[in-house]
Structure 1
Amino acid sequence: MRILVLTNMYPPHHYGGYELSCYDTVERLRAHGHRVTVLTTTLRLPGVADRRDERTGGVRRDLAFYWDDHRLLSPSLPERLKIERANQLALENAISAERPEVVSVWNMGAMSFGLLTTIIEKQIPLVYMVCDDWLLYGPKLDAWSRLFTGRGTIARAVRRLTGVPTSVPELGRSGAFLFVSDVVRQAAAKTTPEAARNGSVVYSGIDRRFFPPLAGGRPRRAWRWRLLYAGRLDQRKGIHVALDALSFLPDEAILEIRGRGDSDYLSTLREQAARLGVEGRVRFSDHSARTDLHKAYMEADVVVFPVLWSEPFGLVPLEAMACGIPVVATGTGGSGEYLRDGANCLLSPPGDATALAKAVRRLASDVELRNRVVEGGLMTAEELDIDALAGTLEAWHRAAAERFQHGRPEERRSPTDRLDDLDRHQQR
């Protein structure tokens, strides 16, 4: 197949997990013999270089973005028109060069929704891989099309004059919708009920090649009270709760906070650590490559995932599980669809530092419990592997390219089915 991927960020210039899932999926589709071209924005992170031969390797960083350095942009009207025309030209060039049989849309946050209008009008099949709530917030961040919201007559007149799409298309009927979790699917129902009703939950996955356990599984070393948080620095992630929990743990307990993001929140965390008197037990480090992250996981006794909000999915617990490291998490949002208390992790209520510390103490004192959640975690990580996701997406893109002449692909089974089967077997 000839596939055009449309997304707002693409590694190595990225912030979160969905971009890595997109990259991993693209690489596997290419390995399966498909011609995949990525059309993304000009976003480039400071100090991060493009991959060598990226352009000839099928990545086009040609689209302007209504976002820069964590700020939404609201350019002047002439500048917005200039951006839209440039983006339409970039899309036309990509379509002309690649002649895609199907377009794979990953994230349209702060992008030009007129790109979707053009693709729909060209009658190229669309498959949406929805990894967060951009179906809700995306149209509001499009600085061009939002000018014409509720102004149909003006929108049509401006399009006739400029030749540039001026409205957000009717997305619900525009293609096949795949959701990273049921949480995301339910959220989408607020603005695109038809997409949510007819869509499929396919779950995300990790590349376990980057996160192998030691031979024989989790090393049976003595507990050393090494806690790890890995991920974006964002108040919604609840890192401050983990800091509070650290103050309830023995003096030898150390928390490593590994990530980048909100600099103001980082300053707040440092101040909090000093106020709690645990600054000597907290280590901050920048988020690093997956190979380095694997080393950090393997040096931890437990990975904490104290998120407070309904996060779309959450890859960090899976990465830790794949490494054979026990996890303490809140189970909010999409991660709650694969986390099972006592089976592959320990759960604690969001925002409850005392409960988080208690869960860590339980793992420290109960070797049998640790072994059980590690084994369950390894099983879960096997289920939620990027190869499974790529295979599912390949089937959906092929079906869309064939206009679903042979029906829809099979639904993916729940990631906890194996755990449930094991539990039923053990109860017999």
Structure 2
Amino acid sequence: MLGISVYFAEIATAVATRISELLCAPVMVSNQKGVIVASSEPSQVGCLLDQEKIETSFANFLRVPLCHESETGEILVGESYSCEVISSRLTYALVELIISQTVTQILFPSQHEMKNRLISDLLHGQITDEVAVLERAKQLGMDLSQPRALILIDAAEYILENNADLDQHQREVIEQRRTKVVIGSIVSFFHLPSDTICADLGQGNIGVLKASNTKNLDPWATCDKVQEGSSSWANLTALKRAADALLARLRNDTGTSINIGIGRYHPGLQGLSRSYEDAHIALSLGTRLQGANRVHCLGEMGIAAFVGVADEATKIDLAKYLLSPLNQEAELLTTLNTFFTENCCPSSTAKRLSIHRNTLSYRLDKIASLTGLEPRKFDDAVQMRLSLLLRSLQSS
């Protein structure tokens, strides 16, 4: 919402807090657009600092630049609440020292935490400099050059198991240990050299940036023909098979309920955030509608995917995917459209198409065989009808 990365937000918040406590003065941090992203007065966060305000209301504030990689901002420090006079030169030096210490503590705590933050930034679309992100990933041993899709694992029942008798520190230690167990199981299952593509996303959720090209999904591929259509759906069937096998492994290793949502592959680093959105929506809807201990993906959510997904582009992609087996079957598409136009009435459909009812039955059987959706069943018919409408809306 504030248009900054997690790193910049953490630095800004920590700096504002420490400076305010040390100098007993009001402190604000703005981004390069003049929006306050951190402040000793929380109500100011999100407000815009225009030039007029800076020259009037904050004329006496000391201004210190704040930079992190490609992101820039400014720290504004007001006069002390205690009216203690401190030279601006000393204050400036003190602020710079706090910035340096804060950046060191936040950006270089451990490779494990840096990896989690980087993956979190990628999944939430908080990328301002792709070159810098790729370089940081390389330093952490992550190869982001190959296609990757997100597998989102909800292991909250295991990781966050109620330990009411323990204090917060003890609970955190147990949660960290159990998170390592889950990630260790994932690493072992996929035969990974390390856990660099796995991240603790908090609240018992684990994210896996699974390589989604044909080579890396070969153990779960079959000789079935890959459906044509949107490239974002390529290899999704193999990815789901992999997730199904992973689910069985995790349930066995943890002895608790596990839920998994999988996202489609989307090109580029920014595509990882779209894959996360897919997986998050599928996991949320699927858990509520289909129950626990399952793998959920938008392509198998049925009507719920069209109702629960707000993004129109995703709905259109889903419509194309569901009907993609009919892309080269113009006669079947015409038959399906006519069938719905005639309110799913076989006799009037056959009459409208000037064909025998047996011929119509054969065509509808073939449609069901190709798409996996039966147009004579209500739920499947609704999906197919919505898919036809969305496709026609886009083409028009």
**Same-fold status (TM-score > 0.5):** no
Name the TM-score class by shorter chain: under 0.3
Q: Relative contact order (alpha carbons < 8 A, sep ≥ 6): 1 or 2 greater?
A: 1
Q: Which has the larger radius of gyration?
A: 2
TM-score using structure 2 length: 0.22
